[in-house]
Chain A
Amino acid sequence: MSPLSAALSTLVSACAILGCSSLLSRVVFACVVLLWLVRRQSSFRPLFRALRWFCVAGVPLFLMHTIANTGFAISARVLGGIPIRMEGLLFGASVLANFMIITFVAMAWSTVNRGNLFDALVSLRLPIWVTIAGTQSVATLYLVRRRADAVFLAQRARGIPVGPALLARIRAVPTVVLPVITMTLVDASGRAAALASRGLGASRVAPLKRLSCSSDDVTNAIWLVAAAGLAALAIQG
């Protein structure tokens, strides 16, 4: 996805989260965005990955409000006494819809090519520190992911059990996280020197390409506006 489309999806999603007062409108918006993403993806793999992350992190939130949040009154009891709180259920669904929208935005940004993002920020002629902060943040995320993979393999090669049981995986988290954090910090000073030597931050970056709007961006914009429009209709309905 182009940085322009990702930025537009962020803007429209932020408006949906802040502006859609009813649960129905958020659900409508999320469903249309889901349809758009399904249409865009040539492979369903990233979509399944996003949905898996959404289920792992979002569903417990939903259950917590429906069953355990004492701020809502108990409406019924099921399976020998498990409380069900209807208001909590609606609130949980609303939180879940927001979470879904945020997941979609994260997914949209994860498909943006780093080089295109760099070119887009440079062609916007933003202050140099904004360009560097933006592009280096994305580059660092990529490096941390690569480093985490390398550390995982290195610890396994050292004989540290990193699976297959869930408990082993959980116990192995510090053995991966600590070296990744340390390496990132140690690497940062060396990387800063090397990039400063190449001239990063010394002056405004000269653009190679101009930011342009492609037909794909127009299609994406139409889908997002349609999603927002349907959500607005749902509010009125």
Chain B
Amino acid sequence: MLKINSIERLEPDGDWSQLTSGITLPGGSSLGVVGDCDTGKTDIGLLLSGLRASGRIRADIHLQNEGRLNDLRDLKRSRLTAFVPTDPYQCFSGMKETLRGEFHVGMQILGDVSRYAQEKVRKVVHAFELEEFLDRDPFTLSGGEAVRAGVALAAWKQPVVMVLDQTFEALHKSWMRRLRSALQEYLPPSAIIIETHSRVPSWSADWSHEIRLRPIRETEMRVQVVDPCCTTATSSAADYVGDVSTVLEADGLEFRYDRAPFSLGPINLVVRTGEQWALVGPNGAGKTTLAKCLACIIRPVSGNIRVRDRYGKFQSLPAHGWEHLWANRVRYAFQNPDEQLFRPTVRSELGLTSTTALSSKLLALATRLGLTAVLDSSPMSLARPMKRLVTLCIALGSGAPVLILDEPTALLDSNQAALVRAELRRFRRDGGAVIVITHDETIIGRDSRRLEMRSGQRVG
């Protein structure tokens, strides 16, 4: 039994405000913590797993028969609790070269290399269907595969408290529920599962307890959007732009990795102006690989890609060494925003240094996305969802006719996600085309075309 006496948050005015108090979680119960961007969800998750958090959240949590959670000795704490961070790759120590080795490290660092521990590992590998990845480098797993592996690495020891910090966002919808049921099947019946989310998931009714975090401050920049995505009838590209013409063409696209037994294609695809394509499929289907090929981040081994430039002429992939020029035609926004930000301020990242017409257009875009308040902040200091909005703003304002967005609404709260959806519709109305890799049905909507993938092949 876990008893949460109180959780408090340090507000910008210097006062501590109480977020919740007096919650008792009996064995076998589940708790959902839901809050917008930057409300302290991760810190709460860390404290609930007995780890240290930043100083802006404090909590008084007791574990039955063990005392105060934060006073437990490290070894005991790591046996009783488990924490899975938002980025599942952080679960991998990197001290071994394969996922199998990572499980061995897990047993070794807890000092338990007995047959019983090995049997537990075998069971968790089976429950999370990881057999085929055991001899792969965990850092080369796709997003969803890494989530399963990360959760399994935390769960194998059968902890009493298991905290999942926004872990489900990169998972295919079929795996979202399967992961929960796999956990319930593998963990002992008395285990307490705690999930943090930026948006209320569809299974929230299954939670026995819920904490809703209020925003840290209601900023004047918070733009409320009425999202027509789910209410409008099916629309076509012609509803967005009058003249529908081909903007991107992929013909017989194939790709193979040197060291992984995976091959993509051949894939044929025609994208027209005003269209939104959703690349969907289970984890490891090759969605990101296809998107990277289309954006010339990796070069296909065979096949052609052509993009219509602003003068109406089709252009093929650039020569080796000139791949950056492709970004003027096809712009790719990575799932991890940290990889694409490097300038001292958000303003300079967006190129808002002059007073040209382009700058005013970008400024309007940044305002609509709620970035005005952070224009002079360092992008490195922002919360991850805000970084995500900055990279999306850069892509939307780049002038490229085709945007490829990898999980654009992952980690965003519902309002931020609605802002992004509205901007994507505006982009398509202005003659652009969008390709999204996503598991978020709200962004796919009814007017997206679906490219369904499985094992590197287009199946629909």
Contacts and interface: CB of A to CB of B under 8 A. Distances in A.
A binds B: yes
A179 B339 CA distance: 6
Q: Which of B81, B93, B98, B339 has the most CB of A within 10 A?
A: B339
B78 interface: yes
Interface string B318-353: 001111110110011010101111100000000000
B46 A193 contact: yes
Given A115-B96, A159-B324, A160-B324, A199 B87 contact: no
B85 to A, nearest CB: 5
A174 interface: yes
Nearest to A196: B51
Nearest to A185: B380
A202 B95 contact: no
A139 B339 CA distance: 20
Q: Which of B78, B113, B292 has the most CB of A within 10 A?
A: B78
Interface string A142-157: 1100110011011111
B109 A114 contact: no
Interface of B: 46, 49, 51-52, 73-75, 77-79, 81-87, 90-91, 93-98, 101, 104-113, 139, 150, 153-154, 157, 292, 295-298, 320-325, 327-328, 331-332, 334, 336, 338-342, 380, 394, 398
Nearest to B94: A139
A114 B331 contact: no
Contact of B380 (A136, A182, A193): A182
23 contacts: A114-B94, A115-B98, A118-B95, A135-B93, A136-B93, A150-B339, A151-B339, A155-B339, A156-B327, A157-B334, A159-B324, A159-B327, A161-B324, A191-B90, A194-B83, A194-B85, A198-B110, A199-B75, A199-B78, A200-B93, A201-B74, A203-B109, A203-B111
Q: Is the interface of B mostly helix, strand, loop or mixed?
A: mixed
A213 interface: no
Q: Is the interface of A mostly helix, strand, loop or mixed?
A: helix
Given A139-B94, A191-B90, A162 B338 contact: no
A187 B52 CA distance: 16
A157 B74 contact: no
Per CB-CB distance, the 3 closest pairs between chain A and chain B, nearest first, are: A164-B321, A139-B94, A159-B327
A167 to B, nearest CB: 13
Contacts of A118: 95-96, 105
A56 to B, nearest CB: 19
A79 interface: no
B108 A139 contact: no
Contacts of A186: 338, 380
B153 A198 contact: yes
A199 B79 CA distance: 7
A187 to B, nearest CB: 7
B51 A142 contact: no
A198 to B, nearest CB: 6
Contact of B295 (A151, A157, A162, A182): A157
Interface of A: 113-115, 118, 122, 135-136, 138-140, 142-143, 146-147, 150-151, 153-164, 174-175, 178-179, 182-183, 186-187, 190-191, 193-208
A195 B340 contact: no
Contacts of B104: 208
A166 to B, nearest CB: 11
Contacts of B380: 182, 186
Nearest to A158: B340
A193 B339 CA distance: 21
Contact of A205 (B83, B111, B297, B334): B111
Given A197-B81, A198-B110, 20 more contacts: A114-B94, A118-B105, A138-B95, A147-B339, A150-B339, A153-B292, A154-B340, A156-B323, A156-B324, A159-B331, A164-B320, A164-B322, A186-B338, A193-B51, A193-B83, A197-B82, A197-B154, A198-B82, A205-B111, A206-B108
A157 to B, nearest CB: 4
Given A199-B106, A201-B74, A208 B113 contact: yes
A205 B322 contact: no
A179 B338 CA distance: 6
Given A182-B380, A194-B84, A205-B108, A140 B295 contact: no
B78 A197 contact: yes
Given A143-B94, A193-B51, A207 B83 contact: no
Given A139-B93, A198-B153, A162 B324 contact: yes
Contacts of A153: 292, 297-298
Contacts of B93: 135-136, 139, 195, 198, 200
A23 B15 CA distance: 70
Given A198-B154, A199-B109, A190 B79 contact: no
A224 to B, nearest CB: 26
A113 B94 contact: no
Contact of A155 (B113, B153, B340): B340
A159 B398 contact: yes
Contacts of A183: 338-339
A158 B327 CA distance: 6
Contact of B87 (A146, A163, A187, A196): A187
Contacts of B394: 158
A114 B338 contact: no
A196 B74 contact: yes
